[in-house]
Amino acid sequence: MMPAVETRSTPVPQGDTLFVAGEWRAAARAGERFDPSRPERSTGLFAAAAAADVEDAYAAAVAAAPAWAATPAPARAELLRRAADCLAARAEAAALRLTADMGKAIGDARAEVRRGAAILRYFAGELEQPIGETYASADPATALSTFEQPLGVACVITPWNFPVAIPLWKLAPAIGFGNTVVWKPAEAASGSAVLLAEVLADAGLPAGVLNLITGHGSELSAALTGAERLAAITFTGSGTVGTRLRQAVADRNVKVQLELGGKNPAIVLADADLADAALQVTRGAMLATGQRCTATSRVYVERPVADEFARLLADQVGRLVVGDPFDEATQVGPLASAEQAATVAEYFALARAEGARVIAGDLAATAEGCFAVPTVIADVAPDSRVVREEVFGPLLVLFVVDDLEDALGAANETDFGLSSAIFTRDLGKAMRFVRETQTGLVHVNRETAGVEPHVPFGGVKGSSSLSREQGKAARQFFTTTKTVYLRST
């Protein structure tokens, strides 16, 4: 049975989900959210903001900016710590909300909420780190130093696949380093977004520092990117939308951070611990129903062990517990929406029509709702769409390769460059892979997914604007440096 998912501490009218200038308000129109495990069931409404709401949100963010920038960093750190405590206190409600929004297995949803609190605490600590440097000047009478200042007003646009972690790894540094924010979450993740905004408001965030605009991204694009005082956009989502956003601000001095899709390869060499590699590749490809930008979608296996690895992989994939995301035993819930389920089924049908052989699972046998059976296919041409494009579902393509050289060439033959993995006991081969793989994240004997908050995150090629998020990289994005020549007379 699905538990109750309403999360508001203070009941407000359904759909009253815009948070502007410290006040909750409704929009003229509302969108409806559906439980992906029971698409016939509505999980509530979200306010579908209009351009005028976005303009109000920017006005509030502009008005709040000077006082927030002047608030001492330790006070901002304290607020992030209180937000972490508030989120921890509402952890179960947040996990249920997240699962209802987009179908993530409840165990993974709980882990994501814990991670959200950890991200808030990490950035609270970052705010107590040095904010500048001192240099020797050529002039003995001059003290030469730098210090960081906030950028101003930042626009934060987030996807639905990590409704808590991704917003927080942008919001915590944006706000923490003294900026004010207009945040537009994905439609499907609006329920989780409202809960996070409540948490930050409950922690004592002054009015106007965070402004939440729920609604349809394509309708709000011009208002989101057109604001005169916009200083920065941080976006995670599809390449198509990311490119559009970059173009929209290209002729203005707006700092842009884009984290986009992935087509992440794993290489399994003959000397690897094959059982462990099969487990890691299965987890990397199938957990979160394959809807992670770092999910493994291609696996390249050295010929001598290809049959054995395929057998071990099929065994692991077959063991996955697929089902009701609210069931504690479930590892793989539904896809996030009917559209997502249709897209994944289409890629599978295309691959089958091109002659792909099924090694494990059968996406075509998927039951009703938005469920997708984790599936592995082989005998696919390298230029097939299923190999070149991001599927964003539990569909893994297996290739047999002659050696590391062959595997590296094929793995790098992609427009994306987010994450990659190699499985081997040979340190020399592992080090060569680390050097030559064209991705921003590299794993040795680990799945391609999995992110820690205190190290930089991001990709190369079509996966990123080459900026990095999280860790110390977040400081670089959300601040600007002032250089001070101070001469005594």
Position 48 contacts ligand NAD (CB under 6 A): no
Nearest to 174 by CA among 235, 114, 223, 129: 235
Position 157 contacts ligand NAD (CB under 6 A): yes
Residue 148 CB-half CA count within 13 A: 23
Q: Note whether 287 and 449 are within 8 A (CB).
A: yes
For the bound state, the minimum distance from the C-beta of residue 211 to ligand NAD, rounded and expressed in Å, comes to 15
Task: Check residue 480 and report its DSSP letter.
Answer: E
- Residue 451 phi, psi (nearest 5): -135, 135
Position 173 contacts ligand NAD (CB under 6 A): no
Segment interacting with ligand NAD, rule: CB under 6 A, options 103-111, 230-238, 404-412, 476-484:
230-238
Q: Which residue has the tokens 């592992």?
A: 430
- Residue 100 phi, psi (nearest 5): -65, -35
For the bound state, the minimum distance from the C-beta of residue 104 to ligand NAD, rounded and expressed in Å, comes to 13
For the bound state, the minimum distance from the C-beta of residue 467 to ligand NAD, rounded and expressed in Å, comes to 11
Site string for ligand NAD, 286-315 (x = CB under 6 A): -------x----------------------
CA dist., res. 286 & res. 263, Å (int): 14
Catalytic residue, candidates 112, 148, 187, 259: 259
CA dist., res. 474 & res. 470, Å (int): 5
Give the nearer residue to ligand NAD in terms of CB position, either 218 or 488.
Answer: 218
Residue type, 128: E
For the bound state, the minimum distance from the C-beta of residue 4 to ligand NAD, rounded and expressed in Å, comes to 26
Give the nearer residue to ligand NAD in terms of CB position, either 282 or 297.
Answer: 297
Give the nearer residue to ligand NAD in terms of CB position, either 10 or 218.
Answer: 218
Among 68, 122, 160, 300, binds ligand NAD (CB under 6 A): 160
CA dist., res. 93 & res. 7, Å (int): 6
293 in catalytic set: yes
Q: Decide the pairing of beta strands 132-135 and 142-150.
A: antiparallel
Query: What contacts 133, CB < 8 A, 6 or more positions away?
Result: 145, 146
Position 238 contacts ligand NAD (CB under 6 A): yes
- The Cβ of residue 381 has, within 10 Å, a number of other Cβ atoms equal to 12
> How many Å separate Cα 73 from the centre of its chain?
26
Nearest to 46 by CA among 103, 95, 97: 97
Catalytic residue, candidates 155, 187, 198, 293: 293
Site string for ligand NAD, 98-137 (x = CB under 6 A): ----------------------------------------
CA dist., res. 61 & res. 213, Å (int): 12
Give the nearer residue to ligand NAD in terms of CB position, either 324 or 469.
Answer: 469
CA dist., res. 124 & res. 118, Å (int): 10
469 in catalytic set: no
Position 164 contacts ligand NAD (CB under 6 A): no
Position 344 contacts ligand NAD (CB under 6 A): no
Q: Which residue has the tokens 């921890």?
A: 88
**Class of residue 482 by CB neighbours under 10 A (exposed 0-12, middle 13-18, buried 19+):** exposed
Give the nearer residue to ligand NAD in terms of CB position, either 48 or 79.
Answer: 48
Segment interacting with ligand NAD, rule: CB under 6 A, options 46-54, 120-128, 172-180, 184-192:
184-192
For the bound state, the minimum distance from the C-beta of residue 419 to ligand NAD, rounded and expressed in Å, comes to 9
Position 256 contacts ligand NAD (CB under 6 A): no
Site string for ligand NAD, 374-403 (x = CB under 6 A): ----------------x-x-----------
Position 254 contacts ligand NAD (CB under 6 A): no
Segment interacting with ligand NAD, rule: CB under 6 A, options 47-55, 78-86, 254-262, 282-290:
254-262
**Which position's Cβ is nearest ligand NAD?**
217
Query: What contacts 412, CB < 8 A, 6 or more positions away?
Result: 436, 437, 438
Bridge-partner residues for 266, per DSSP? 299, 421
Among 418, 430, 449, 474, binds ligand NAD (CB under 6 A): 418
CA dist., res. 215 & res. 48, Å (int): 4
Widest CA span of the chain, in angstroms? 81
Interacting residues toward ligand NAD by CB under 6 A: 157-161, 166, 184-187, 217-218, 221, 224, 236-238, 241, 244-245, 259-262, 293, 390, 392, 418, 463
Residues catalogued as catalytic: 259, 293
